[in-house]
Amino acid sequence: MDFSNTRVIKDKFEAIGGEFNSPLTLFQNKLPHIKAYIFDWDGVFNNGVKQDNNGSPFSEPSSMGINMLRFSGYLKTNDIPHVFIITGENNLSAINLATREHFTAVFLNARNKIDALTFIATQYHLTPQQIAFVFDDILDLGLASKVALRFQVKRKASPLTDAFIKKNKLADYLTATQGGQHAVREVCELLIGLNGNFEQTLAERMNFSKGYQQYLALRNQLKTGIYNLKSGKIEVLNAE
């Protein structure tokens, strides 16, 4: 398989059930400008089911996918892309993953996610055209309408929502897998493939290359910011 051929990559993802709502040229034009990835939590890293206040889990395959996506970006630009989680709840699992993997920041209790986007743009000197977003539900659509690339995680129970999103061009790609089936990993592999360095990224990680070690050392120096959105205001719980 030619891992650098975007047509081959598209065919591979369509073969497992992924749906491209935008042409490949859009991804090719926008992806080089992406400097940050925003992820929703419930329904994206998991199936959205919670028990009490314990939050909801994540999968290690999805965690590995994000790490490889960041390494792929580092190999292309010598900079580590930002990763943000914006969740509508107080998700302890999201905080645990973000701090363990040294994500840029987590935003909790975000009822209006555009508030978090506005803060991110100002605080981290990013424009919406430099941001990609992975999401699954209605709460996310305002943010999805503002950014450059949008990846919707599939859920079979929401056919009318899917139709609304497609009609209003709010997602560029719809995953084949659902949130509890490592959908984040699917999106990350697609993005690395479209970056054009999938084989290099995996080979260097497999061999624990000097380049990967340099990336890991830089990544592990990053401190995760933790923010709470309360009544439309950003409360700093642990600034990076």
Query: pLDDT per residue over 19-39, tens digit each?
Result: 999 999 999 999 999 999 999
Distance of CA 205 to the CA centre of its chain: 20
pLDDT (0 to 100) of residue 56: 81
> What are the structural domain ranges in the chain?
6-230
Residues ≥6 apart with Cβ < 8 Å to 165: 141, 144, 152, 171
Instruction: Decide: helix, strand or coil at residue 224.
Output: coil
pLDDT (0 to 100) of residue 124: 96
Looking at every residue in the chain, the average pLDDT score rounds to: 95
**Is 60 exceeded by the pLDDT of residue 239?**
no
Query: Among residues 135, 41, 138, 52, which one has the least CA distance to residue 96?
Result: 41
Phi, psi values for residue 91, rounded to 5°: -95, 105
CA quadruple 65, 66, 70, 76: dihedral sign: positive
CA quadruple 9, 11, 15, 20: dihedral sign: positive
- What mean pLDDT comes out for the span 51-80? 90
pLDDT (0 to 100) of residue 115: 95
Least confident of 54-68, 124-138, 155-169, 193-207: 54-68
d(CA 219, CA 115): 27
Distance of CA 82 to the CA centre of its chain: 10
Q: What angle do CA 131, 134, 138 make, to 5 degrees?
A: 110
For the sheet with 173-178, list strands across it.
Answer: 19-20, 173-178, 149-154, 131-135, 36-39, 82-86, 105-108, 225-230, 233-238
- What mean pLDDT comes out for the span 39-50? 91
pLDDT (0 to 100) of residue 55: 64
Question: For residue range 114-161, what is the model confidence (pLDDT) as tens digits?
Answer: 999 999 999 999 999 999 999 999 999 999 999 999 999 999 999 999
Instruction: Decide: helix, strand or coil at residue 50.
Output: coil
- What mean pLDDT comes out for the span 30-50? 94
Q: What is the CATH number of domain 6-230?
A: 3.40.50.1000
**Is 80 exceeded by the pLDDT of residue 81?**
yes
Q: How confident is the model at residue 51 (pLDDT cuts 50, 70, 90)?
A: low
